[in-house]
């Protein structure tokens, strides 16, 4: 069974065309699936629908075969625990009033009753935070800092540490390196790859950056105007006859 199955998902905002129109795809356990398309094509709306931050108009979202599309409130807890998101702007993702340590402990405190961690141990919260910082290659001493006392790259590593802290099955990475300089981008991509392997994570990797998608994702979905218009392996993206729009995206790159 697929980890995530999306069937004919449609989402409209108040006016105009649906932002996501009739999208269907599957994401397998352990897969890193790319999602590309120009600005405004509906990538972030799709991510928000998968996280159930938006109600959808029509369609189905199944996580491990369980329908998520109609759940609300506390019934969404399994989804909150199994899907985590890392966004483009780490400054907005972290609470400025919390130290790194407190940000990292927060998801654990919320979900500890239902967690069965396989990779991290919690002999004490300090030791747990130390393991999380180690996993994202940050020194333990950063635990006492506030987000504004970190560089952009360090902040993004903290948001990644927070996302992996409860060992989700799926991470939605929405332009995770877009706000970073080129050197930090490469380092964060490398980190994400190694975490995927060591923690057995699955990724939906959303990006404008075709080189990053190529590096991270063996399979790639192409969206245009809210629709899924093409899907292919990363080799096919650059080397085979593809949908005219996919060729245009590649040629613009
Ligand atoms: N909260 C909202 N209310 C109304 N319209 C919205 C809202 N959020 C997004 N849209 C519209 O939905 C469409 C898809 O936007 P979305 O942010 O999902 O695209 P995107 O592919 O993620 O773009 P980008 O790559 O620039 O982040 C756009 O036309 C956008 O203007």
- pLDDT value for 19: 96
- CA 43 / ligand 1 centre spacing (Å): 8
37 and 1 together in one domain: yes
> Domain total for the chain?
2
Q: Where are the strands (E) in the chain, listed by range?
A: 4-11, 20-27, 32-36, 58-63, 66-67, 83-86, 170-174, 202-206, 219-224, 227-233
Shared domain for 70 and 189, answered yes or no, is: yes
Same domain, 178 and 233: yes
Task: Look at residue 154 and tell me if it is in a domain.
Answer: yes
52 with 81: CB under 8 angstroms? no
Cβ–Cβ under 8 Å, residues 152 and 124: no
Ligand 1 atom nearest to CA at 47:
18
Q: Same structural domain for residues 200 and 220?
A: yes
Q: Do both 119 and 241 map to the same domain?
A: no
Residues lining ligand 1, judged by CB closer than 6 Å?
Answer: 13, 19, 37, 39-45
Q: Does residue 154 sit in the same domain as residue 76?
A: no
- Which residue is closest in CA terms to ligand 1's atom 1? 13
Instruction: Give the pLDDT confidence score for residue 97 in this predicted structure.
Output: 96
Pairing of strands 83-86, 170-174: parallel
Task: Tell me: ipTM over 0.90.
Answer: yes
Q: Please give the chain's pLDDT, 253 residues, in tens.
A: 899 999 999 999 987 789 999 999 999 999 999 999 988 999 999 999 999 999 999 999 999 999 999 888 888 888 889 999 998 887 788 999 999 999 999 999 999 998 989 999 999 999 999 999 999 999 999 999 999 999 999 999 999 999 999 999 999 999 999 888 888 899 999 999 999 999 999 999 999 888 899 999 999 999 999 999 999 998 888 776 777 788 887 777 7
Q: Is residue 90 in a domain?
A: no
Which of 141, 167, 193 corresponds to the end of one domain?
167
Atom 29 in ligand 1: which residue has the minimum CA distance? 40
The answer to whether residue 88 sits within a structural domain is no
Is 175 in the same domain as 77? yes
Quote the pTM value.
Answer: 0.93
163, 182: one domain: no
Does residue 64 lie within any of the structural domains? Answer: yes
pLDDT at 184: 87
Rounded to whole angstroms, how far apart are CA atoms 78 and 212?
A: 30
Whether 125 and 234 map to the same domain: the answer is no
Q: Cα of 40 to ligand 1 centre, how many Å?
A: 5
Residue 147 and residue 180 in one domain: no
């Amino acid at each position: 069974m697929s980890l995530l199955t999306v069937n004919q998902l449609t989402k409209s905002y108040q006016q105009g065309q649906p932002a996501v129109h009739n999208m269907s795809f599957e994401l397998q356990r352990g897969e890193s699936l790319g999602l590309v398309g120009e600005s405004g094509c509906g990538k972030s709306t799709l991510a928000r629908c998968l996280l159930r931050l938006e109600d959808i108009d029509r369609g189905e979202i199944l996580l491990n075969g369980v329908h998520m599309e109609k759940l609300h409130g506390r019934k969404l807890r399994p989804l909150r625990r199994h899907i985590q998101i890392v966004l483009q702007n780490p400054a907005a993702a972290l609470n400025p009033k919390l130290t790194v340590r407190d940000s990292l402990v927060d998801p654990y405190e919320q979900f500890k009753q239902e967690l069965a961690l396989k990779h991290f141990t919690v002999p004490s919260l300090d030791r747990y935070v130390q393991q999380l910082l180690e996993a994202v290659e940050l020194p333990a001493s950063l635990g006492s800092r506030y987000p504004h006392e970190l560089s952009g790259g360090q902040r993004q590593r903290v948001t990644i540490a927070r996302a992996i802290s409860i060992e989700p099955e799926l991470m939605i990475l929405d332009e995770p390196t877009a706000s970073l300089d080129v050197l930090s981008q490469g380092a964060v991509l490398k980190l994400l790859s190694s975490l995927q392997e060591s923690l057995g994570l699955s990724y939906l990797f959303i990006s404008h950056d075709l080189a990053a998608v190529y590096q991270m994702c063996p399979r790639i979905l192409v969206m245009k105007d809210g629709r899924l218009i093409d899907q292919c392996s990363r080799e096919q993206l650059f080397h085979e006859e593809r949908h005219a729009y996919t060729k245009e995206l590649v040629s613009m790159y």
